[in-house]
């Protein structure tokens, strides 16, 4: 066999080996690309799901906060109405003409004490609030 034929054979084998390596490299590159695409899609899906969950939680929190603020405003309005009714009721009593007294009975005897109007209002408030709320249907 001549040197030229040996060189041609070596070149042919080298080309075959190079094509084989090139084909394997392209296949490996395609596989890596597909894996990277799948991983990217999975990560994007996970990020979207997380963002959706966070969005739903935030929306729920805002709705709950709005409901709470509405409830607080309603309670504030009810309290203002009750304060107004109590104020008018106590104002009708002429404080300078009528002195309210409380009779206290103890083991050592009875005695009367003057009742402070504000203290009386605070003591009676829970019962009066309930009664006023029932009458006003609030």
Neighbours of 25 (CB within 10 A): 10
Domain boundaries, the chain: 3-136
Distance of alpha carbon 135 from alpha carbon 5, whole angstroms = 116
pLDDT top residue among 37 and 135: 37
State residue 97's pLDDT score.
45
User: Does pLDDT of 48 surpass 50?
Assistant: yes
> Two tokens at 5?
């034929």
Q: How confident is the model at residue 66 (pLDDT cuts 50, 70, 90)?
A: very high
pLDDT digits (tens, 9 = 90+) for 82-138: 778 777 777 776 555 456 777 888 888 888 887 777 777 777 778 877 887 777 776
Share the mean pLDDT of the chain.
Answer: 85
Average pLDDT over residues 14-20: 92
Q: What is the C-alpha to C-alpha distance for residues 61 and 116, in angstroms, rounded to an integer?
A: 45
List helix spans (H) across 1-138. 3-92, 117-136
The answer, yes or no, to whether residue 35 has pLDDT greater than 50, is: yes
């Amino acid at each position: 066999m001549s040197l030229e034929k040996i060189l041609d054979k070596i070149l042919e084998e080298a080309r075959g080996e190079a094509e084989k390596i090139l084909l394997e490299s392209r296949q490996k590159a395609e596989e890596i690309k597909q894996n990277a695409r799948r991983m990217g899609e999975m990560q994007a899906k996970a990020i979207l799901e997380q963002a959706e969950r966070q969005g739903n939680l935030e929306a729920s929190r805002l709705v709950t906060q709005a409901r709470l603020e509405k409830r607080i405003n309603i309670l504030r309005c009810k309290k203002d109405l009750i304060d107004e009714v109590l104020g008018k009721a106590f104002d009708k009593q002429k404080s300078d003409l009528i002195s309210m007294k409380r009779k206290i009975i103890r083991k050592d005897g009875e005695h009367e004490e003057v009742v402070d109007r504000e203290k009386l209002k605070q003591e009676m408030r829970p019962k009066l609030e309930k009664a006023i709320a029932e009458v006003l249907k609030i």
